[in-house]
Structure 1
Amino acid sequence: MIVMKFGGSSVANADNIKKVGEIVAKQQNERCLVVVSALGGVTDALIQAGQTASKGNENYKQSLGNLEARHLDTIKNLLPITAQSSCLSNVKQKFNELEDICEGVFRLGELSKRTLDRIISYGELLSSVIISSYFNAIEIKNVWIDSRKLIITNSNFGFAQVNFVETNKNIQAFINNSNANLFVAPGFIASNETGLTTTLGRGGSDYTAAIFAAAIHANALEIWTDVTGMMTADPRWVSNAKTIPSTSYKEAMELSHFGAKVIYPPTIQPAMQQLIPIWIKNTFEPQQPGTVIENISKKENEIITGISSINAISLLSLEGSGMVGIPGFSKRLFEALSSANINVILITQSSSEHSICVAVNTADAIIAQQVVDEHFTHEINTGKLEPLKLEHDLSIVALVGDKMKSHPGIAGKMFAALGRNGINIRAIAQGSSERNISAVVANKDVKKAVNVLHEAFFESSYKQLNLFIVGTGNVGSKLIEQINQQQKYLLENLNIQIRITGIGNSRHMLFNDEGIDLSKWHQLINEAPAMHLHSFVKSIITKNLRNSVLVDVTANEQVAETYAELLANSIAVVACNKIAAASTYNNYKKLKNLSREYNAPYFFETNVGAGLPIIGTLNDLMKSGDTIHSIQAVLSGTLNYVFNHYDGKEPFAAIVKRAQNEGYTEPDPRLDLGGTDVMRKILILAREAGTTMEIEEVENHSFLPASCMEGTVEDFYNELAAHELHFKALYENAQKNNCKLKFVAEFKNGKAEVGLRAIPSNSDFYHLYGKDNIVLFYTKRYPEQPLVVKGAGAGADVTASGVFADIIRVAQ
């Protein structure tokens, strides 16, 4: 014999009940007992009606009328007209009883737990009567059971405890004395020894099914719901959550206790005692295998079975030197909580015995604080204990698996994954069975925590990055294009899934937590809300997505000023923008420290040399113990382009304009030609080499007449044209000495300078063409022949590729 339970979503309406009929019809070769919940949402509606009546509000009548109409409509949509009369009459009679009870509540202005149990029992009574009638109408003959006649409990209304001796005897006698092949019973409801209606707690229909299954030693217990079995995590939070094919009773207990809503926790105990397998199946996908819960899980390789969580938790912390070495404090704490019927969810105590911390439901927290403070009044008044500390807005996230005990390092992996994503842990608990590791985190972090842990333990095949890109000019657009092109390759070859979840420019900001459609991002961003940098940054922080990265491909000072806030929230920063790394030394150091403190990478390779691995090479030299003696470099692709193309025949201003049009210059070309951009670059290299230096300490030998730096960009071009003879003279003087003009940066003996130099033909800088950059590192290991990094140092494509490389470094 098998027991099948169908939940509220499975019997929510006539169409769903028909699906239930199809499933039950396939079991007619085996004796079967079907337990049903109330129609979806009915229990809550009945509670609301009772509460409304107790407040003297006649609107309860309308609520009952709506419920009656819903049930009558269900009958009319399910049963043929010839079979409706008896069922309609039965349902109307029950609603008449309900109205009488609620009228009594209305007149008394009081709703006791006993009366509430009576009211909400009608949900299951009504649904089971309708479903039994429907089965008979489609020739699935069955016997309706009033569960209240068989399941006997104490008088703890709302959450009654079952008397299993009497209950088992009643069920066995009823089933054994019947020749029926199919039984239909209402879940959730029972009665006390005097026959008063009781209920088994919300979710109690599962428990009812388990009680029946254990009493009759069923071959299987099937829980039919609207999901395809137990999942590795809540699928509403984790898009890649997987069905758990097999799990043990104890694992299932842990998962259900810590928030997995698929099965009501008390359900497992009766089935476990009789070793009855429990199947979690989907009413709407009955062909799917679902999850089986049994004594020993059949899974082979998985160490972790699932990840679960409980929200709305508060922490109570009892601390004080008066606890140390004094036995009985824990006992007194739990006695105080027990006296107020407060359930303790998690316990942790310091080894010094100086503090003990427990987690309770937030709804119980204030009462808990009151009873504990009252219980320890003497110790608090004498200074032996501090008043109880109470923290709200917390959640528990739990990692569950039978095999954790035999695999070291699970806790380390769990906490490392959370730490890398800036998720602070307030308390930790692990039982001696090592089947569960629980951590208390902030409510705002729980969804992120579950996703981070799911990625760490169930999605080892890839790591997901959530990018927020600011800047959609030449470089930003190329970057998005490159990411779109390489997504498949990265997933297949590097196990990295890059998802752009935010794009902002000077006009608009666009977000999509599931990833922006990169095939039409131009159109989407133009239709998006107006850009507000503060709102953009706050959205990144508030969304709290795992592995979040700000990618700054602007030259905007305000964007650079947001890095500190983002890094402090464990959000990585990849910056093409040089302003932050070249700002005051204190700010530069602050950002580096924040990156280390909050495990948030801060990469800015493209600050120097676009896509060339210049900073990375310097960092590798430093990490491996080398010492930098000097750095000589041509670091402006723009200036190299300009002086490689200027021969005195075409105006200098025209060459600069062409460089700007081809995307080689900063938005304001004066940053390049005035030497500011190169000053920033050599400053960054000096700092990365370990030198404390400010931008004012970099000496700039400018070749531009002072008037060129005044006014607007248009004025700048006019001044360039006006000083054409000056630029021509520079070129001709170099030519006379068989030299080429190069704008060179140098760092040596703790000092840095930049300026235009005439480079002879025997120099490494002489044969530098187009937009190329070159850096010479003279070090302890490379004292005479320098380590050379050379290549294209400007252009949207190469700069975007350098930013892209930094993004991949974040993932790795």
Structure 2
Amino acid sequence: MYILKFGGSSLATSDRIKLVAQIVQEHLKKDAVISVFSAFGGVTNDLLLMAELAAKEDLSYKEILEKNEKRHLEVIRELIPVTAQSAILSKVKNQFNRLETLYEGVYLLNELSDKTRHVVSGFGEILSSLIIAEYFKSLKLDSLFTDSRELIVCKNSNEKVLVNYELTNNNLKDFFAQNKADFYIVPGFVAKNEQGVPSTLGRGGSDFTAAIIAGALDLDKVLIYTDVNGMFTANPNLVPHAYSLKDISYEEAMELSHFGAKVLYPPTLQPLLDKNIEIHIKNTFEPDQPGTVVSKSSQKNFRWVTGITHIDSIRLLNIEGSGMVGIPGFSKRFFEVLFLEHINVVLITQASSEHSICIAVKADEAEKAKEALDEAFQAEIAFKKIKPVEIEDNVSIIALVGDRMKSHHGLSGKMFSALGNNNINIRAIAQGSSERNISAVIAKKDVTKALNTLHEQFFEVPSKELNLFITGVGNVGSKLIDQLKKQESYLLEKLRLKVRVLGLSNSRKMYFNEDGIDLANWKDLLDKGEKANKEEFFSRVKKYNLRNSIFVDNTASPEISEWYKEYLANSIAVVTCNKIACADAYENYENLQNLAREYGASFLYETNVGAGLPIIDTLQNLVASGDRIRKIQAVLSGSLNFVFNNYNASEPFYKVVEKAMEEGYTEPDPKIDLSGVDVARKILILARETGSKLELNDIEREDFLSQESLNSKNNEEFFELLEKDEAHFQQIYKEAEENDCELKYVAQLEEGKAKVGLQKVDAQHPFANLSGSDNIVLFYTDRYAEQPLIVKGAGAGAEVTASGIFADIIRIGKK
């Protein structure tokens, strides 16, 4: 004999009920079937809502009642032939008349008792089962409807369900021995108490009904049909990569259900454990899928952690004070108060100093618990031996669950490390003595990020998801996006990095897509986006609250660099080619470094010096390994190098600068490059990486431009003045040529002092013969005293700068 249970989502419409009929008929081909039915989807919630409204003298309950009656009558008309509708229509209308009478009584008395609540909430299952029984009769099946209220006996106390198994099992055995049919239809959830008053088995009690029957009749398994393919590694609505589990143990299922997995009602397991009756959780809409099997052992599950789950509707209660320390019986008094108030404790943690006890309870029971505890300990509170109970809101519990966790070391370390790396603060921790569960209390706003972080850590193919928010999509930004798109498959296959772009912005528009932006169509999407706003951009990134979030700045904007501290303080990594922040006042530079360390957020700016060249990384490694930097000499401006490599006095100087600008080697304002400010910023950044606390105005700068051109107000005026100064540039070139030298704009740091300026370099110098826009850096250190460590290569251009930013992003992914 099979026992099948169908939930409300499987019965929400007449089409779904027809699908249920097909599943039942397939099982009937093999053996007799007992089917337990829930109420139609959403009906139980409406029944309770109407009771609450009636108790508040709100007549809108009548509209909801009318809507529900109409819904049930429509299902009858859609499922059952007209000639067979009369009897069932009468039965259903009779049930709604009884409901109406009950609600009128609640309305008139302005009172809703627990007994009435139990009675009205059970009508949904009775109604659905009556209709479905009539439908199966119309299909010519040998079916028998039985009211489970006549079979299952329970005792309800403050919503806690206790089944009288002796009476219930005898009733069930007698009924199925005396009544023979191919197909039995049983309403779930409902029962009667020992006094014969209709009651219920608690929310989700239809599962429990099926388990009680299976246990009484010693069946092999219970098949629970719902709207998902079994129990999942995590809530699939919050964790897109969650997948269904093939096998789990009773204990794992109980832990997962207790901590919020709504597929299975926790008491369901009680009648099945001793008899080793399996539970098969299957999908009504994909009945051929294997689903999840809950049994005595989960040895088929090879993972250390079976699932991750959470509870939302909780609040923390904390009591503390010196009057608790070393006082025998304090904990007994504490928990006895909660017991007497029928308050269930979800989680407990106590400091080893005995100075405080922290518990988690259902959100709607927290005020009641506080009031009772404050009253019980009023004397201690009055003498200030302990503080009044404090309630903490907006928290949730997340939990790792798995039978095999107890035999594996380091799981809690991996859990807390993963959460900490994503700035998820842990408020309290608890681990059961069975070591099957590790629970942590976190802020409710962090639940989705925490679940995804832990799922990535424990369940997904070793890979890491990086979530990028990019501002600046001009030359560098567009090249970066092209590179990300081109390398998407490679990053996933070879480096196990899934890189998603979720936000884009330029100076006019910004566009977001939490599921990831289509990089093949990003320009059109951005053009149709909303008006750009730096504050709103940050707010959106913060609101998404995603793990491994990275803010990428491809601009040269001072205003955007001012937002770095906000991102870092929210554990959002920053990758930038914008030199302004690191070349700002030393106090601000140091603050950014401190924020990055404090909040565990990477702050990477390799492209600030040398575009894609590993200059900063090399310098940091030298310093970290204990080497002492004696001197740095460098050609750090790809644009200036390009200009002086191409200027030979045959073509006007301003024309060469224009060409450099056209090819993307200069800043949008080329005066920044030619004035030496850009190089000064770069040597300043290198100086700070060595430990020097220099400011930008400490950098000695030798200008080769006229003061008039340096003071120009725009590019047009600047180029006019360059053209006017052509004779000056020709003279500089002629002097270098006469001495068989090349012109290079050189930066130098030595003994804590830095300077930049145009120099004549002879043919034997390492700076000679630098081609195109190449950069070169010479590191003279204790280890490289005679022959410097040299880093040399292309130091400007959108492509190489984008590749440097890309490299920083990958660096974070590998962290």
TM-score category by the smaller chain? over 0.9
Which deviates more from structure 2 when the two are superposed, residues 358-367 or residues 662-671?
358-367
The separation in 2 between residues aligned to 1:578 and 1:616, in whole angstroms, is 16
- Give the equivalent residue in structure 2 for 1:26: 26
- 2:571 matches 1:538: no
Mapping 1:638-649, distance limit 5 Å: 638-649=639-650
- CA 243–601 in structure 1, closer or farther in 2 if over 3 Å, else same: same
Mapping 1:718-737, distance limit 5 Å: 718-737=720-739
- Give the equivalent residue in structure 1 for 2:5: 5
How big is each residue's C-alpha offset from its partner over 1:697-745, in whole Å with a ceiling of 9 and x where there is no partner?
1111111111112222222111111111111111111111011110000
CA contact (8 A) 1:158 1:199 kept: no
CA contact (8 A) 2:247 2:301 kept: no
- Give the equivalent residue in structure 1 for 2:607: 606
Question: What SS is found at the alignment partner of 2:396?
Answer: strand
- Give the equivalent residue in structure 2 for 1:281: 282
- Give the equivalent residue in structure 2 for 1:558: 559
Question: Shift in Å at residue 194 of structure 1?
Answer: 2.2
Question: What SS is found at the alignment partner of 2:546?
Answer: coil
- Give the equivalent residue in structure 2 for 1:801: 803
- Give the equivalent residue in structure 2 for 1:54: 55
The separation in 1 between residues aligned to 2:275 and 2:33, in whole angstroms, is 18
Question: Shift in Å at residue 144 of structure 1?
Answer: 0.7
CA contact (8 A) 1:665 1:672 kept: yes
Mapping 1:145-294, distance limit 5 Å: 145-156=146-157, 158-294=159-295
Question: What SS is found at the alignment partner of 2:163?
Answer: coil
Mapping 1:723-762, distance limit 5 Å: 723-762=725-764
Which deviates more from structure 2 when the two are superposed, residues 173-182 or residues 769-778?
173-182
- Give the equivalent residue in structure 2 for 1:75: 76
Mapping 1:84-483, distance limit 5 Å: 84-156=85-157, 158-483=159-484
How big is each residue's C-alpha offset from its partner over 1:523-559, in whole Å with a ceiling of 9 and x where there is no partner?
0000000011001011111110110000111111111
- Give the equivalent residue in structure 1 for 2:710: 709
**Percent same amino acid at aligned positions?**
54
The separation in 2 between residues aligned to 1:2 and 1:587, in whole angstroms, is 71
CA contact (8 A) 1:638 1:794 kept: yes
- 2:771 matches 1:769: yes
How big is each residue's C-alpha offset from its partner over 1:323-381, in whole Å with a ceiling of 9 and x where there is no partner?
12112121111112222222111101111111111111222222222211111111122
The separation in 2 between residues aligned to 1:158 and 1:417, in whole angstroms, is 38
Question: Shift in Å at residue 165 of structure 1?
Answer: 1.1
The separation in 2 between residues aligned to 1:238 and 1:424, in whole angstroms, is 20
Which deviates more from structure 2 when the two are superposed, residues 435-444 or residues 133-142?
133-142
The separation in 2 between residues aligned to 1:335 and 1:467, in whole angstroms, is 51
- Give the equivalent residue in structure 2 for 1:15: 15
How big is each residue's C-alpha offset from its partner over 1:580-635, in whole Å with a ceiling of 9 and x where there is no partner?
11111121111111111111111100000000010111111112221111100000
The separation in 1 between residues aligned to 2:300 and 2:668, in whole angstroms, is 59
The separation in 2 between residues aligned to 1:536 and 1:630, in whole angstroms, is 41
CA contact (8 A) 1:744 1:757 kept: yes
- CA 548–582 in structure 1, closer or farther in 2 if over 3 Å, else same: same
The separation in 2 between residues aligned to 1:479 and 1:603, in whole angstroms, is 16
Question: What SS is found at the alignment partner of 1:791?
Answer: strand
The separation in 1 between residues aligned to 2:345 and 2:73, in whole angstroms, is 43
How big is each residue's C-alpha offset from its partner over 1:431-476, in whole Å with a ceiling of 9 and x where there is no partner?
1111000010001101100000000001143110000001011000
Mapping 1:581-600, distance limit 5 Å: 581-600=582-601
The separation in 2 between residues aligned to 1:740 and 1:790, in whole angstroms, is 18
Which deviates more from structure 2 when the two are superposed, residues 186-195 or residues 791-800?
186-195
Question: Shift in Å at residue 155 of structure 1?
Answer: 4.4
Question: What SS is found at the alignment partner of 1:85?
Answer: helix
The separation in 1 between residues aligned to 2:327 and 2:59, in whole angstroms, is 58
- Give the equivalent residue in structure 2 for 1:779: 781
Which deviates more from structure 2 when the two are superposed, residues 650-659 or residues 54-63?
54-63
How big is each residue's C-alpha offset from its partner over 1:392-428, in whole Å with a ceiling of 9 and x where there is no partner?
1000010001101110000000000001101000000
Q: Which amino acid aligns with 2:170?
A: K
The separation in 1 between residues aligned to 2:240 and 2:283, in whole angstroms, is 18
Which deviates more from structure 2 when the two are superposed, residues 173-182 or residues 13-22?
173-182
CA contact (8 A) 2:32 2:183 kept: yes
The separation in 2 between residues aligned to 1:99 and 1:196, in whole angstroms, is 19
- CA 374–157 in structure 1, closer or farther in 2 if over 3 Å, else same: closer
How big is each residue's C-alpha offset from its partner over 1:765-792, in whole Å with a ceiling of 9 and x where there is no partner?
0110110000001111110111110000
TM, length-normalised to structure 1: 0.99
TM, length-normalised to structure 2: 0.98
The separation in 2 between residues aligned to 1:620 and 1:59, in whole angstroms, is 71
Question: Shift in Å at residue 60 of structure 1?
Answer: 2.5
The separation in 2 between residues aligned to 1:367 and 1:809, in whole angstroms, is 51
The separation in 1 between residues aligned to 2:431 and 2:752, in whole angstroms, is 53
Question: What SS is found at the alignment partner of 2:27?
Answer: coil
- Give the equivalent residue in structure 1 for 2:529: 528
The separation in 2 between residues aligned to 1:47 and 1:347, in whole angstroms, is 31
The separation in 1 between residues aligned to 2:472 and 2:59, in whole angstroms, is 59
The separation in 2 between residues aligned to 1:564 and 1:336, in whole angstroms, is 48
The separation in 2 between residues aligned to 1:250 and 1:574, in whole angstroms, is 46
Which deviates more from structure 2 when the two are superposed, residues 46-55 or residues 704-713?
46-55
CA contact (8 A) 1:228 1:282 kept: yes
The separation in 2 between residues aligned to 1:347 and 1:164, in whole angstroms, is 31
Q: Which amino acid aligns with 2:504?
A: I
CA contact (8 A) 1:159 1:199 kept: no
Question: Shift in Å at residue 81 of structure 1?
Answer: 2.0
5+ residue gaps, structure 1, are: none
The separation in 2 between residues aligned to 1:176 and 1:392, in whole angstroms, is 53
- 2:812 matches 1:810: yes
The separation in 1 between residues aligned to 2:173 and 2:591, in whole angstroms, is 73
Give the aligned length: 812
The separation in 1 between residues aligned to 2:608 and 2:791, in whole angstroms, is 15
5+ residue gaps, structure 2, are: none
- CA 300–266 in structure 1, closer or farther in 2 if over 3 Å, else same: closer
Question: Shift in Å at residue 310 of structure 1?
Answer: 0.6
Question: Shift in Å at residue 300 of structure 1?
Answer: 4.1
The separation in 2 between residues aligned to 1:58 and 1:357, in whole angstroms, is 43
How big is each residue's C-alpha offset from its partner over 1:638-666, in whole Å with a ceiling of 9 and x where there is no partner?
00000001111211111111111111111
Q: Which amino acid aligns with 2:4?
A: M
The separation in 2 between residues aligned to 1:368 and 1:715, in whole angstroms, is 75
- Give the equivalent residue in structure 1 for 2:510: 509
The separation in 2 between residues aligned to 1:286 and 1:132, in whole angstroms, is 21
- Give the equivalent residue in structure 2 for 1:548: 549
- CA 439–181 in structure 1, closer or farther in 2 if over 3 Å, else same: same
Question: What SS is found at the alignment partner of 1:9?
Answer: helix
CA contact (8 A) 1:154 1:160 kept: yes
The separation in 2 between residues aligned to 1:94 and 1:718, in whole angstroms, is 92
- Give the equivalent residue in structure 1 for 2:631: 630
- Give the equivalent residue in structure 2 for 1:684: 685
- 2:499 matches 1:498: yes
The separation in 1 between residues aligned to 2:58 and 2:571, in whole angstroms, is 51
